[in-house]
């Protein structure tokens, strides 16, 4: 196995220099999620104005995959509409649950395509999805109804 297939440079860069990390005010919804198998946790807040996600702030502890995924999430959903964010989330979940068989769409997923290698390791898929589960729950907490996407 080549470690680089999982730990692509993009992932390590996000891990070492996370985007948008730290909890900020004001916010409309918040969620705390844990991965019960390893104890990793994330607290994530969303700020929504009209149709738009205007901020995602987060804090927590976790492995490089979970931390990098939260950083990429921040890039992919801030200043996008809720619907666009949901479309991205659906694509990301599909990629992560695809056991490495799903060809990612770089136009939609941008840096998140780097997680294609992680999808081959079922034990790490939860790490990559932890922040996204928190995002979905935080939107619900903010009273925003997501349509379509299912994060398991």
Partner 1 sequence: MTTTAPVTQPLDVAALRADFPILARTVRDAKPLVYLDSGATSQRPRQVLDAERKFLETANAAVHRGAHQLAEEATDAYEEARAKIAAFVGVGVGEVVFTKNATEGVNLLAYALSNAATAGSEMERFTLRPGDEVVITEMEHHANLVPWQQLCQRTGATLRWLGVTEGSDPGRLDLANLDELVNERTKVVAFTHQSNVLGTVNPVTPVVARAREVGALTLLDACQSVPHGPVNFAKLGVDFAVFSGHKLLGPSGIGVLYGRRELLEAMPPFLTGGSMIELVKMEETTFAPPPQRFEAGVPMTSQAVGLGAAIDYLNAIGMDRVAAHEHALTEAAISGLQAIDGVRIVGPAEVVDRGGAVAFVVDGVHPHDVGQVLDSLGIAVRVGHHCAWPLHRRLGIPASVRASFYLYNDLSEVEVLVEGVREAQRFFGTA
Binding interface with partner 1 (CB under 8 A): 1-3, 6-7, 12, 37-41, 61-65, 121, 124, 127
Cβ at position 39, least distance to partner 1 in Å = 4
Between 4 and 101, CB nearer to partner 1: 4
Question: For residues 28 and 19, what is the distance between their CA atoms, to the nearest angstrom?
Answer: 20
Between 64 and 97, CB nearer to partner 1: 64
Between 61 and 101, CB nearer to partner 1: 61
Cβ at position 60, least distance to partner 1 in Å = 9
Cβ at position 128, least distance to partner 1 in Å = 11
Q: How is the beta sheet containing 29-35 ordered, strand by strand?
A: 29-35, 40-49, 52-61, 80-81
Nearest alpha carbon to residue 62 among 21, 104, 3, 108: 21
Cβ distance 42 to 9 under 8 Å?
no
Cβ distance 56 to 144 under 8 Å?
no
Between 37 and 152, CB nearer to partner 1: 37
Cβ at position 77, least distance to partner 1 in Å = 24
In this structure, what token pair is assigned to residue 82? 């809720």
């Amino acid at each position: 196995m080549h470690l680089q297939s999982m730990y692509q440079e993009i992932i390590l860069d996000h891990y070492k220099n996370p985007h948008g990390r730290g909890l900020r005010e004001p916010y409309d919804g918040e969620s705390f999620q844990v991965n019960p198998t390893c104890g990793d946790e994330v607290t994530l807040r969303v700020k929504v104005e009209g149709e738009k996600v205007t901020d995602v702030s987060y804090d927590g502890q976790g492995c490089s995959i979970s931390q990098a995924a939260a950083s990429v999430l921040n890039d992919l959903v801030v200043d996008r509409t809720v619907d666009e964010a949901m479309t991205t989330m659906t694509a990301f979940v599909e990629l992560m649950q695809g056991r490495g068989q799903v060809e990612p769409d770089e136009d939609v997923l941008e840096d998140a395509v780097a997680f294609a290698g992680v999808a081959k390791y079922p034990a790490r898929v939860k790490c990559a999805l932890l922040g996204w589960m928190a995002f979905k729950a935080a939107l619900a907490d903010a009273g925003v109804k997501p349509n379509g996407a299912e994060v398991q």
